[in-house]
Amino acid sequence: MAAVIELKYFNTFWLKKLKTITDVVPGETTTSPNGNTSWTISAPGLTDNQMNVGQEVTMPYKDFLDPSIERTFESYIVTKISDTSFTTATGPTNYVAGNPEPSTMTFGKIINFNKIPAVYEGTPDDDWFIEESRIRGGYNNTSVDFGVKAYLVEDEPKQSHKFSGLIHSGVFNSRTGFNATNQFSVGEDITRTIDPANGSIQKLYAEDTNLIIFQENKVSKSLIDKDAIYSAEGNASVTSRNLVIGQNVAFGGEFGISTDPESFAVNGYRKYFTDRDQNIVCRLSMDGITPISNFGMIDFFRDKLSTAKVGGVKGGWDAHNKQYVLSIESNPSGKTGPEYNTLSFDESVKGWTSLFDYKPNQIISLNNNYFTANSGKLYIHYTLASNTTARGVFYGVNYNSNVTFVFNGNPQMVKNFQTINYEGDSGWKMLSFNTNTDNTLPVSESVFASTLEQLQQSLLINRFKAKEDKYFADLVNNTSSQNGEVIWGSSSSGVKGFFGEVKMEVTNANNSKKELFAVSTGFVQSS
């Protein structure tokens, strides 16, 4: 909480209360009015941090003329007379003491700062600090000056809102301390209007000596301290010019960031963002703008972005895994509550690799660590919590890890998938194996049989069995037979279909790291 000292100069100072004001906590007691704005506390005992000048006061009561009318008194304390009496800025309407009895008054936060800081100086004299807003104003200096006086050359200045315009101030030289960031000379060409037909400017990003401009329906760049000269053939050559905001050059394609600047993330020369209007995810790099949602996820993003909540699209760069992470909160029709989808894009495979169960409010990376925020708390990823071996814990909730993939060898052939096997650590199980017509019973994780009972269970339950550092299991058909279908010989096991969709899972609770290197299946041509 702070108070502002207004000066007739550019520079401003913030007088900050670090402790006493911030210690103000709500208090509550019964009270009765001595007059229109004069009050007496019936049950004294509130501290200065619970009842003092500037605090909000609220009180419900019944109208004296018509007790059926419920009213609420709202004001703030003007003067604290004693520990048991005070005055307020206004008084309640149609309220009489003892009608029907003294009411409960609540003292809230400070809403009036007219007598701040004098009233809240408290005992520690060093509880107040002054902070200068000027760049490099000298935090530890023994004295400061007022800085450069702001000036305006217009006789009748007027306020205007330009949603697609740019303006720049004077320069700041960090080496000499020259600061002209308060100067906006209308006598110079300091503005640049971007095509308003492409919507408002949502995001600015400085790259090298260019300013990348993200509008709702277009992405462009403005040259800084240079300009472009075009030949008769349409080729552009860059030339130096004493102009801060130079010519604006649009990138190819009708892509924009819509109204989701939170989806923006950058890594090197790659910039990622979403275009909600076209239901796509884009990457801006040296080769221009590429819709990366076309990499096998066209339908997914069409459905999710078209129903995305306003402000519900969050993007960020995962510096740990080197991936672009995108979280979409949508409101699909037919569902009572919101739906969250968090997924990642990997440049090394040119595809969307993972879906996550966590729902971040913000995504950031720092020093090669990956952080997300949720419910006002900051979480670090890829690190085990203290005193636990559980993996897959997001925001205090443990999740299992699963992998879904498709077998589609010889796509023109109807196959009979008979076995499933994988290479990796023990503990993986198969949740499902579905084809275009059939499905199987699940396969449990392998168990090292140390007792006769465990050996019997391994024989009766469909489990993975270890053999030569690999894990094997039969596929047991769980689909009812169709009319005319003949079940005989080798065809009595397995599932039929053109392709197979497999889902593998591992339980993360109190387990060490489990790797899954490869998964394969054995099949024959269906008879």
Residue 522 pLDDT more than 60? yes
Cα–Cα distances in angstroms (integers) from residue 250 to residues 79, 272, 283, 293, 320, in the given order: 61, 17, 15, 22, 33
Residue 156 pLDDT more than 70? no
Give the C-alpha separation, 254 to 203, whole Å.
16
pLDDT digits (tens, 9 = 90+) for 108-134: 888 888 777 666 655 555 566 666 665
Q: What is the mean pLDDT of residues 281-307?
A: 94
Residue with the larger pLDDT of the pair 510 and 332: 332
Give the C-alpha separation, 17 to 115, whole Å.
13
* Token pair recorded at residue 315: 């993007």
Give the C-alpha separation, 444 to 430, whole Å.
7
pTM: 0.63
pLDDT digits (tens, 9 = 90+) for 244-266: 777 788 999 999 999 999 999 99
Nearest to 213 by CA among 225, 226, 235, 198: 198
Q: What is the mean pLDDT of residues 21-33?
A: 75
β-pair partners for 80: 86
User: Residue 66: pLDDT band by 50, 70, 90 thresholds?
Assistant: confident
Q: What is the mean pLDDT of residues 374-402?
A: 85
The amino acid sitting at 408 is N
User: Residue 35: pLDDT band by 50, 70, 90 thresholds?
Assistant: confident
**Residue 258: CA atoms inside 13 Å, Cβ hemisphere, count?**
21
Contact indicator for 476, 384 with CB cutoff of 8 Å: no
As a three-state string, the secondary structure of 417-436 is EEEEEEEECCCEEEEEEECC
Q: What is the mean pLDDT of residues 57-84?
A: 87
Residue with the larger pLDDT of the pair 194 and 233: 194
Q: What is the mean pLDDT of residues 181-208?
A: 85
Give the C-alpha separation, 433 to 404, whole Å.
10
Contact indicator for 292, 240 with CB cutoff of 8 Å: no
Give the C-alpha separation, 222 to 243, whole Å.
11
Residue 409 pLDDT more than 50? yes
Percent of the chain residues topping a pLDDT of 90:
35
pLDDT digits (tens, 9 = 90+) for 202-249: 999 988 888 999 999 999 998 876 554 444 444 555 555 556 777 788
Residue 105 pLDDT more than 90? no
Residue 470 pLDDT more than 80? yes
Q: What is the mean pLDDT of residues 340-355?
A: 94
User: Residue 294: pLDDT band by 50, 70, 90 thresholds?
Assistant: very high
